[in-house]
Amino acid sequence: MKTIFCFLFLTIILGCRKGDFNIPFTDQTIFKNAQYIRVPYYTYKDNSNGKTYTFHGTSRDLINFSSSGKITQVIPYDYYDTISNYPVFVWEKTGSKNVMIAIFNDRISIDYEKQQIKNLNAIVWAWNTGMSTGKEGAVSFNNGCDVINGVIQYNMPPTPLKNSSDYILAIWAWDADAKQIAYSSREIPFTVDQ
């Protein structure tokens, strides 16, 4: 009886896919001392398969504010949305002229002294405000480009994200002089539909 119970328990626990990343995700912005970029709850229809998807972004996060209205704490909601392999991304506009959004296939590693991403090879797709399509605050997957070995592939359409795979979305923006990261999201995990 104990053997059957242990087998069932392990089958249930191991069968509950929570993602391949080392949870929990932190409440910190990707870049330290940056203002928090919120990603609202939204839905979109994927024209390639006709399905409608919901992305909760950071809308389920618990955000605490000081009396002056400044964010004092963010408690991330531990959940993976399932979205299409041609997603649409929406976020709260920063007003910055230099914004980057990227999809990673691994947790993000930052060199905080240099304010740089150390694992550029983990980026599989990117969009920035220097591209001719999309706009700050809303881009479709086709507005961006593949990233191969840390280099954006501007001259080719993006490869669809792999079905049943886990990824991390990240958004950041520079100050007016494009010298310091002024805005940043936290790591936002998601899974691609089957």
> Could you tell me how far CA 29 lies from the centroid of its own chain?
12
In a domain, 150, yes or no: yes
In a domain, 6, yes or no: no
Number of domains observed in the structure of the chain: 1
In a domain, 176, yes or no: yes
Nearest C-alpha neighbor of 173 from the set 118, 69, 67, 93: 93
Q: What is the pLDDT along the chain (194 residues), one digit of tens a residue?
A: 444 333 323 322 333 344 455 545 555 788 988 998 989 889 999 988 999 998 887 776 565 666 766 656 655 555 678 899 999 999 999 999 999 999 999 999 999 888 899 999 999 999 999 998 999 999 999 999 999 999 999 998 999 999 999 999 999 999 999 889 999 998 888 899 97
Residue 176: its pLDDT value, please? 92
In a domain, 9, yes or no: no
Residue 134: its pLDDT value, please? 92
Report how far residue 121's alpha carbon sits from residue 80's, in angstroms, rounded to the nearest whole number.
22
Residue 136: its pLDDT value, please? 95
Residue 2: its pLDDT value, please? 45
Residue 91: its pLDDT value, please? 96
Domain that holds residue 118: 28-192
Q: Strand runs (DSSP E) across 47-129, as ranges?
A: 52-55, 62-65, 71-75, 81-83, 88-90, 99-104, 110-111, 116-117, 123-128
Instruction: Name residue 173's beta-bridge partners.
Output: 99, 183
Residue 26: its pLDDT value, please? 57
In a domain, 23, yes or no: no
Residue 25: its pLDDT value, please? 56
